[in-house]
Amino acid sequence: MAGLETHFFSGTDALVRELEKDAESFRTGSLCLEDFTRNATARTCALEASLRGVSDFRDACDSARTFTPSRNQRVYSQPISESRHYRITLLGIHRQFPVPVHDHPGMISLVLVLEGQLYAPQYEVTPHGSANILVELTPRSEQTLKRGDIAIVMSETGSLHSLKPLVSNALCLTLQLYIEQTNELRSWYFPRTLAKQGMPPALWYRIQHKEICNGI
């Protein structure tokens, strides 16, 4: 986004380096998940606070609020800053078009809620058959996020998640850290059959695709 890349480049790089250090400390056991979550929330909220001082970002937020989904674009996605180490994106998620279950190979993904509420469950996956096209998904954790809350998605906490706005549309800032080099395509999961009342679908289709929507 014009005006943001230059303004935030050095500050964003410093923030990402601190988050990478925290992530490594967590993965080696010297930082607990609670402390990692607290640090990640504080750093990402500080980034969002600085972004709100820039008119281009405020304009993008206005566009996200008034975004009307279409068949070809169901989620508002505005890149904020990107390097070979990270990507920061503003998302506007419409209540009628939740983000399907998906993974983040080689990444740590942080989702900060700016406005609205998000239901953000994470899942474990079990292949069903040798082709790995049909899978079983088991809920691992369930979160309902409000403004200022953050979801962290990584292999240690469940690398699959979905995002569903509650009550109204949701505005989010996502920060994806590229922590491993991988050529693996991302996977997106769609229910094979409609869920029975109170019961999750038994089987899901797994579709590999680089991106369905940038920044998710």
Q: Which domains does the chain have, with CATH numbers?
A: 4-208 (2.60.120.10)
The pLDDT value given to residue 201: 63
The pLDDT value given to residue 14: 82
- In this predicted structure, the answer to whether residue 216 has a pLDDT above a threshold of 90 is no
* DSSP letter assigned to residue 102: E
* DSSP letter assigned to residue 68: -
At residue 193, the 3 state secondary structure works out as: coil
Enter the pTM of the model. 0.85
Calculate mean pLDDT across residues 107-135.
86
- In this predicted structure, the answer to whether residue 9 has a pLDDT above a threshold of 60 is no
- In this predicted structure, the answer to whether residue 195 has a pLDDT above a threshold of 60 is no
pLDDT digits (tens, 9 = 90+) for 77-100: 999 888 888 899 999 999 889 999
* Average pLDDT along the chain: 84
Calculate mean pLDDT across residues 118-142.
82
Distances, alpha carbon 105 to alpha carbons 50, 117, 145, in Å? 29, 26, 23
Give residue 163's pLDDT band: very low, low, confident or very high (50, 70, 90): very high
